[in-house]
Amino acid sequence: MTSPIDIEGGGASVVVDGAPGPETKSEPVKLAGRSPGQLMWLRFKRDRTGVICAVVVIGYFVVALLAPLLVKLSGTDPYTLYGQDPTYADKPVLDEFGLPLGYLGGVSGDHWFGVEPQYGRDLYAMLLYGMRTSLYMALGITVLIMVTGILIGLIGGYFGGRTDYWIGRGTDFFLSFPQQLFFIAFMPVVTSFFVNPREETPTYFRALAMLIVLWLLGWMGMARLVRSTVLSLREREFVEAAKVSGASPWRIVRKEILPNVVTPILVQFTYQLPSTILSIAFLSFAGVGFVEPTPDWGRLFAAGARYAEQDPAFMFFPGVALVIFVLCFNLLGDSVRDAFDPKSGR
């Protein structure tokens, strides 16, 4: 955790470390204090699992970002029905039962991860586009959850008393909702705020509805965490000192408290993001999130469960990709936590 001295000179200390001045020899430079951020970075770099996982996770985001380009390389797209479209009749991908020809769900030079049974859509294209949908939506929702949680937690923790009591009760109330059931149930209600229930819902309204639902029922963990951290900081001497010297509440929150809650927030972020991704996948899997033909990670699993008996290989690539992703994210979260707080240990 950041010590008060570091916060006061936050910007300055980095400059001192980074530019030791021409006249100082190497000896004093080595002794120069490192900012907590640098210490954390050093500890993190030593953790090989953490670094590998960070690379993998970043890799996923890059792949998702470049999805259109990478899919173009394979010469496919996620919407064409290669099994039904007469343009592709000379290159059959499905047999007469609608199952992929060839091994492992029809893996071939044209269709790198095979094709979907029945329709013959390209799985590689669907997976990459699906990852793009899921990852970037999850990123947006997680940031929103974080900001809301931090704000509410800060207000509750800093002002305390009656404000804190009512915010706490509100948080408890939101926590007592059966989350996943409510995700499902609120989707049509939230959608109905934007579109007439009689009409077809456009995809971006579905995305917006998902965002609202996940956001509304997702901020509580963050708020509680920030509140408890702030509560313990509020009584610390450096905050008292700032108060005595006449700093405004806003200044105290911004300069004294926020820098100290960055650590738990970052750790929580690395746990929140994969869980948001899984929630989006859950909604689409249940059939209330994205629907045909929007490519989405969760929808691939719904299709996979449908085809499990005839074509179990369909599930292979999306599933393995998801397992590796979640595993790496969890390991990364542990590494980040260890790097910030070496005491916690494993």
Residues that bind another protein (CB under 8 A): 172-173, 176-182, 184-189, 192-193, 197-198, 278, 281-282, 285-288, 301-302, 304-305, 308-309, 312, 315, 318-319, 322-324, 326-327, 330-331, 346
Beta carbon nearer to another protein, 176 or 245:
176
Residue indicated by tokens 């450096």? 238
Beta carbon nearer to another protein, 40 or 300:
300
Beta carbon nearer to another protein, 82 or 317:
317
Closest approach of Cβ 269 to another protein, in Å?
18
Residue indicated by tokens 């640098």? 38
Residue indicated by tokens 């916060």? 7
Beta carbon nearer to another protein, 119 or 183:
183
Residue indicated by tokens 């099994």? 83
Beta carbon nearer to another protein, 23 or 199:
199
Please give the C-alpha separations between residue 155 and each of 173, 199, 226, 227, 230, in angstroms, as whole numbers: 18, 41, 10, 8, 9
> Cβ neighbours of residue 211 under 8 Å, at least 6 residues apart?
137, 140, 141, 144
Taking phi over 0 as left and psi of -120 to 50 as alpha, with beta for the rest, 111 belongs to beta
Beta carbon nearer to another protein, 102 or 188:
188
Beta carbon nearer to another protein, 158 or 317:
317
Closest CA to 230 of 294, 150, 115, 166: 150
Closest approach of Cβ 198 to another protein, in Å?
7
Number of helices and strands (H, E) in the chain? 16, 0
Cα 191 → chain centroid: 23
Residue type, 316: F
Closest approach of Cβ 112 to another protein, in Å?
20
Closest approach of Cβ 201 to another protein, in Å?
11
Closest approach of Cβ 74 to another protein, in Å?
24
Closest approach of Cβ 215 to another protein, in Å?
15
Closest approach of Cβ 35 to another protein, in Å?
30
Q: Report the distance separating Cα 298 and Cα 321, nearest Å.
A: 12
